Structure 1
Amino acid sequence: MDFLRWLFDAQLHIGDQTLLVREVLGNIFGLASALGGMRRKVWAWPVGIAGNLLLFTVFLGTFFGSINTINMLGQAGRQVMFIIVSVWGWYRWKTSKDNGSSAVIPTWATAKERIFLIVGMLAGTAVLTPIFRALGSYEPVWSDAWIFTGSLLATYGMAKGWVEFWLIWVAVDIVGVPLLWSAGYYATALMYVFYGGFTLVGFFVWWRARNREAAQVALETQFPDPTVDRIHT
């Protein structure tokens, strides 16, 4: 109980700005999860869930006694969504790993799947904007809805192993930085700046991994018998 009390009350003072330790820790867990996801490690999912739980309490400031009393309903809601989808992704990657294969094999989304992602991003933002506005979310509300929708699609894409999911995160970060900064969530806004560059790196890492996997499959298809002398074939 003493630890939880400290966790909820602890603050960092940087110049004239005050940051919640919960917000900083939540973003550190999120960064660790992103790093694990880039390396296709199963542990990325539970680490991410821990960060989601912390950030959920941060973005509902009026309910958890935060120093920032601006409620970001989209940001808080997406933490719940993260947890739900992450449990599924965790199970999916772990099952694949337990079966003796890679946790996930990066692949390009099909044309239909890409259309689904684009339409889902636009439609989700349009549908959620009036809902978040009615609930009193921070303006501009469409930005909050965009971040929520993009986060859902990106997490789903990560679980499916689509290389494109990294680009969705880039789109989320571009909108998220100015929104969070204007609302006073400075630690998270700065992390979003870093995430933007990190997600671009992750995209190219998964792209190369996909090419390696495809080359390996092609090689195994061409030479199914490991005893075959490939030099003289």
Structure 2
Amino acid sequence: MNAFDWLNGEAFSVFHQHVIWSDMIGNTIGLAALALGWRRSILTWPAQLLSGLVLVAAYLSAHLSGGVGKQLLVIGVALWGWRQWRRGGRRAQDGSLAIRFATWRERVGLLAGTAVGTLAVGGLFALVPALSWNPWPDAYIFVGTLAAMVAQARGLVEFWFAWLLVDVVGVPLAFSSGLAFSGLVYVVYLALVLWGLRDWWLRSRASTRPVLEGAVA
């Protein structure tokens, strides 16, 4: 048995739903990555990278080409975000990443980019059924994930709102696709997102003066 076969083997069953190893391991690492993002730790990016690599196997087993594409996108953006945080930029007085609310121009850019991207990707998925059996929700999650990760790389509080919107569609889609553990993890994601949102919101309101030098906590 090779590594791919093992990853896509059944780990256990929950409520008559079969949970495969790749689904469980990839999403557990993804939860850790979200928690590290809440802590503003640079380790969030390698964790997201590893999660994406493992989840590629899970989506391949479920024949969700759109999900595979999403994870490949996660891997690419994780590498970019890792580089952004390592290069430095705005820092709080304690040396940690300075977080802030987006400007209205940035918000409009994110919303417009997400809307146009969802229409484009959804249209592609609809034209090529082999890419996704459920094109529009898949496209929404695909593009929403990209928007959330880009906002996170820029230290924007709005990245938590983007994850909330992805969760609304991600939970039912995961369960209907037979990825039970993904569905359960999305529910846990929701709790972490709300917690992280509160923390980043409060920190963005703190009267700290950003500096240019320092290491990410």
The 1:103/1:78 distance shift into structure 2, 3 A limit, reads farther
Query: How do residues 80-99 of structure 1 correspond to structure 2 at under 5 angstroms?
Result: 80-96=72-88
Q: How much does 1:143 deviate?
A: 0.4
Q: 1:74 aligns with which of 66, 80, 83?
A: 66
Q: How much does 1:7 deviate?
A: 3.9
The one-character-per-residue Cα deviations of 1:70-128 (angstroms, maximum 9, x if unpaired) are 4222221111111111111112212329x997352111111111001111121111111
Q: How much does 1:41 deviate?
A: 0.4
**Counterpart contact for 1:10–1:20, Cα < 8 Å:** yes
Q: What secondary structure does 2:42 align onto?
A: coil
Counterpart-to-counterpart distance in 1, 2:181 and 2:111: 29
Q: What secondary structure does 1:217 align onto?
A: coil
Aligned amino acid, residue 56 of structure 2 = F
**Counterpart contact for 1:158–1:165, Cα < 8 Å:** yes
Counterpart-to-counterpart distance in 2, 1:9 and 1:200: 31
In the other structure, the counterpart of 1:56 is 56
Structure 1 unmatched runs, 5+:
62-69, 221-233
Q: How much does 1:8 deviate?
A: 2.5
Counterpart-to-counterpart distance in 2, 1:152 and 1:128: 12
Aligned amino acid, residue 198 of structure 1 = L
Q: What secondary structure does 1:104 align onto?
A: coil
In the other structure, the counterpart of 1:12 is 11
**Counterpart contact for 2:26–2:52, Cα < 8 Å:** yes
Q: What secondary structure does 2:200 align onto?
A: helix
Structure 2 unmatched runs, 5+:
212-217
In the other structure, the counterpart of 1:136 is 130
TM-score, normalising length: structure 1: 0.81
**Counterpart contact for 2:42–2:85, Cα < 8 Å:** yes
The 1:138/1:206 distance shift into structure 2, 3 A limit, reads same
In the other structure, the counterpart of 1:162 is 156
The 1:6/1:122 distance shift into structure 2, 3 A limit, reads closer
Structure number with the bigger relative contact order (C-alpha 8 A, sep ≥ 6) is: 2
RMSD of the alignment, in Å?
A: 2.3
1:147 pairs with 2:146: no
In the other structure, the counterpart of 1:106 is 99
In the other structure, the counterpart of 2:119 is 126
In the other structure, the counterpart of 2:34 is 34
Q: How much does 1:159 deviate?
A: 0.3
Counterpart-to-counterpart distance in 1, 2:50 and 2:37: 15
Q: How much does 1:137 deviate?
A: 3.9
The 1:32/1:71 distance shift into structure 2, 3 A limit, reads same
Q: What secondary structure does 2:63 align onto?
A: coil
Aligned amino acid, residue 131 of structure 1 = L
Counterpart-to-counterpart distance in 2, 1:157 and 1:121: 12
Q: How much does 1:4 deviate?
A: 2.8
**Counterpart contact for 1:132–1:145, Cα < 8 Å:** yes
The one-character-per-residue Cα deviations of 1:120-155 (angstroms, maximum 9, x if unpaired) are 121111111121121424443110000000000100
- Range with greater deviation from structure 2 (105-114 or 189-198): 189-198
Question: Among the aligned pairs, what percent are the same residue?
Answer: 31
Q: How much does 1:190 deviate?
A: 1.2
